Amino acid sequence: MTAVLEARSLGKKFGRHWALRDCTIDIPAGHVVGLVGPNGAGKTTLLKLACGQLEPTTGDVTVLGGRPGSTPAQLARVGFVAQDTPLYAGLTVAEHLRLGARLNPRWDAALARERIAQVGLVPTQRVGKLSGGQRAQLALTLGLAKRPELLILDEPVASLDPLARREFLQALMEATAEHRLSVLLSSHLVSDLERVCDYLIVLVDSRVRIAGELDRLLASHHRLTGPRRDPDRLPADQHVVSARHTERQSTYVIRTDAPIHDPAWTVTALSLEDLVLAHMDRRPEQPRRDVLEVRR
């Protein structure tokens, strides 16, 4: 399957500060990709590089086989809903839909109309008078009705109420199944991501910490709990993601593809939230391997 996004040593510097660095990823088509990480980790920067709103400082990025934003055809294939949902305050909801129809060759007018009615937006209402959540709903409708091959969403559901969030995520999943849409979305709401994502990218301190199919990542991460043990005494193929010790007990989150035979450990599976939090822990690395230690 072709990649929707390929980044090679991609980096972006603002002044002297790297917002994103050494980012090398291949995202296969047909996935709903969750992009997570702490505030300021570089998520928006990566999304803006992917849709051509920013130029890389280093490396390159290819989206659907082309340079982001390079041609009208390329622009038509990628939808982007920015975090601040930029819309025209003086235009009505209906005028936004007409604009969408004029600007987008693959525009799905029926989908746009139906969705507007479904989320309770009034076509004659001026956008400047909508609530933050209603504006987000309109922006998301414009993104879906464009019928892109890749839809990039920067924190799309943050301002939606819980029911609207669930409804939107459901619509996203249906669109991916029916229209071969790929989705790349950033969110801090890990429980929402758990519902829709099948591919995960964790960014920490401007770098990709992990990226891959969610099932595989969950299958290769484990929590080990048992008598206190230093990381030096773990097998070399168990990569420590995070560690927590009390006087008598150690709890590790490790990544390994090998079976864990040591009877001293109680081994448990991780939820998506556990996995994300273990990788987001930014405490200084320990000398041996990739240890992030939390002492109590």
From the list 37-45, 71-79, 97-105, 271-279, the region that binds ligand ATP by CB under 6 A is 37-45
Distance CA 183, CA 197 (A): 9
Considering the complex, what minimum distance in angstroms separates the CB of residue 125 from ligand ATP? 28
* 21 part of the interface to ligand ATP, by CB under 6 A: no
Q: Does 45 bind ligand ATP (CB under 6 A)?
A: yes
Residue 165 CB, nearest distance to ligand ATP (Å)? 17
11, 34, 37, 143: which one binds ligand ATP (CB under 6 A): 37
For ligand ATP, the binding residues in 222-261 under the rule CB under 6 A are none
Closer to ligand ATP by CB, 39 or 124: give it.
39
Among 11, 34, 42, 231, binds ligand ATP (CB under 6 A): 42
11 counts as binding ligand ATP under rule CB under 6 A: no
Which of 7, 21, 27, 43 is close enough to bind ligand ATP by CB under 6 A?
A: 43
Stretch that binds ligand ATP, among 24-32, 34-42, 109-117, 169-177 (CB under 6 A): 34-42
In the complex with ligand ATP, which residue's Cβ is closer, 55 or 215?
Answer: 55
With CB under 6 A, what is the number of residues at the site for ligand ATP? 11
Q: Is 211 in the site for ligand ATP (CB under 6 A)?
A: no
Query: Contacting ligand ATP (CB under 6 A), which of 44, 85, 137, 187?
Result: 44
Which residues of this protein are in contact with ligand ATP, per CB under 6 A? 14, 17, 19, 37, 39-45
